[in-house]
């Protein structure tokens, strides 16, 4: 587990950078972020399994599973807001995705 900690931190930083590059200003993407925050996910919490991006927004946008160390369940989000966020910001929340 301790060997994965640097990887999780790096992943969170990459995800945060991807977020700042586009989705952060879109109101529909903000709805996803707020849902995650309301569910208890926090910026910089990936090492504790409660990372805002790594453990919540990224899995929601990808439609994939959370990291194994995630401590909270994903919140339910508005499907229309998710679709609109992904349409306007196709690479948002996907580490290494093309924008």
Mean pLDDT score of the chain: 81
Transcribe 42-68 into DSSP letters: BTT-GGGT-BTIIIIIHHHHHT-PPPT
pTM of the model: 0.72
Partners of 42 in the β-ladder: 51
Do 69 and 1 meet the contact criterion of CB atoms below 8 Å apart? yes
Annotated domain spans of the chain:
5-88
Residues 6+ apart with CB under 8 A from 86: 61, 92
Q: What is the mean pLDDT of residues 79-89?
A: 93
pLDDT value at residue 60: 94
**Model confidence pLDDT, tens digit, residues 26-63:** 899 999 999 999 999 999 999 999 999 999 999 999 88
Residue 95 burial (CB < 10 Å; 0-12/13-18/19+)? middle
**Is residue 20 scored above 80 in pLDDT?**
no
């Amino acid at each position: 587990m301790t060997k994965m900690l640097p990887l999780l931190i790096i992943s969170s930083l990459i995800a945060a950078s991807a977020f700042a590059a586009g989705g952060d200003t879109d109101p529909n993407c903000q709805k996803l972020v707020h849902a995650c925050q309301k569910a208890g996910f926090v910026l910089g919490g990936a090492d504790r399994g409660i990372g805002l991006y790594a453990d919540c927004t990224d899995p929601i946008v990808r439609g994939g599973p959370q990291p194994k160390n995630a401590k909270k369940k994903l919140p339910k989000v508005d499907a229309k807001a998710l679709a609109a966020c992904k349409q306007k910001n196709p690479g948002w929340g996907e580490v290494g995705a093309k924008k």
